[in-house]
Structure 1
């Protein structure tokens, strides 16, 4: 397995994992800082429920990064957004960098 090189992970985002909902709104876990590469580009993606939604940013992180859908993320610019989906990208032995693609609203 070839991991995404550390030198590509130039940005840091803060992830607050979504734990569920309460009567007062969403519940989040403690914030964790994650090294990644952030690409602020708008594109259409599919949510875990199958709906087509607009993603304003994508973060690429090291394999094993866990980010539940609906988690709150603070980008390097200070903008706070929500996770649409986190997808494991594994090259299956090909010489491509394995990583986690985090699609953000």
Structure 2
């Protein structure tokens, strides 16, 4: 598992619960989650396989990481939806979660 010393940022995310009458329904914020944020534009594939533009790549420990559709608040205060997620496995377990927003 990636050491906390490699995750210098602290982020907040809100779980996606589904769609309601007024759009997306988000859960209570999960705060102070250790992460590493790299702000760079990148072309990634979403869950349907379509190419989409990501504005940031974020690395998390597998213990507490957002899922597809969750809303992540970046260090600059902007909230973005998780559009792609990759579980990076080691020999016996998941070592790192990478999400694109």
TM-score by length of 1: 0.87
Alpha carbons 1:4, 1:98 under 8 Å: kept: yes
**Moved >6 Å (runs of 4+):** none
1:53 corresponding residue in structure 2 = 52
Q: Note if contact 1:65-1:100 (Cα within 8 Å) is conserved in structure 2.
A: no
Greater fraction of residues in strand = 2
* Cα deviation, residue 85, structure 1: 2.0
Gaps of 5+ in 1: none
Verify the 8 A CA contact 1:16 1:29 in the aligned structure 2: yes
Per-residue Cα deviation, 1:23-54 (whole angstroms, up to 9, x for no partner): 11100011012110000011100001110000
Match of 1:17 in 2: 15
In the alignment, is the contact (CA less than 8 A) between 1:37 and 1:61 conserved in 2? Answer: yes
CA contact (8 A) 2:44 2:84 kept: no
Whole-angstrom CA distance in 2 between matches of 1:57 and 1:66: 15
Matches for 1:1-105 after TM superposition, within 5 Å: 3-33=1-31, 34-92=33-91, 98-104=95-101
